[in-house]
Amino acid sequence: MKTLKTIFTILSVALLTISCSSDDDKDSVTYDYENPLDLYMAASGFSQKAVDVKNSGIYEYGFSFKPTVTGKISSFFAKIPDVNTALRITLWDVATKTVIKSETMNISVANMAFEKTILPIQLVKDKEYFFSVNSDDWINRTKTDGSAATYPIVAGNITITGYAYISSTATETIFPTNARNTYYAGDISFKFQRTE
């Protein structure tokens, strides 16, 4: 009887260990990376027509967004129709209109997508951010009929809340305030990963 009790105790401990270890595995879920640009272009209809614009005045332009989950940005993407060895990309806090992070990228080939890995930036669920670029070159994206997009636009775990621009200079970083819904100037985006 004592042997049977010992075996039962050992089996109980083993089952408890297996159960606890599988609970730990559930806590260590790794989520896929997302780039919201393609979904944004498709859902807005701005993937229908693209025209390269070069050397057309310097603007700070981009899109506002809210993550629907807590996560992080680990890299920036840019594709413009001209070479720019110091293309500035900025992530803003919309509520305070302050810069969270600004990086320069070397775009050494026109119309080629470049990625710059950065130290991860934590994003808060449902907080609004703005992602912009400072350039005199962009890809002007519209619907073929020229009609407006309806915001917000869901792009995976990112909800795009609008597009805006402002006239700028190469040395200024100014928060874009001129909203438009009939086009998107780009292409800029980021790599997002859900963290919880």
pLDDT, averaged per 10 consecutive residues of the chain (196 residues), comes to: 49 46 61 96 96 96 98 97 96 98 97 96 98 97 97 98 95 94 95 96
Question: How confident is the model at residue 170, as a pLDDT?
Answer: 86
Question: How confident is the model at residue 27, as a pLDDT?
Answer: 63
Question: How confident is the model at residue 172, as a pLDDT?
Answer: 85
Question: How confident is the model at residue 11, as a pLDDT?
Answer: 45
Cα 103 to Cα 68: distance, rounded to the nearest angstrom? 25
> What contacts 70, CB < 8 A, 6 or more positions away?
122, 123, 124, 125, 194, 195, 196
- Indicate the pTM of the whole model: 0.85
Cα 35 to Cα 119: distance, rounded to the nearest angstrom? 17
Cα 155 to Cα 143: distance, rounded to the nearest angstrom? 18
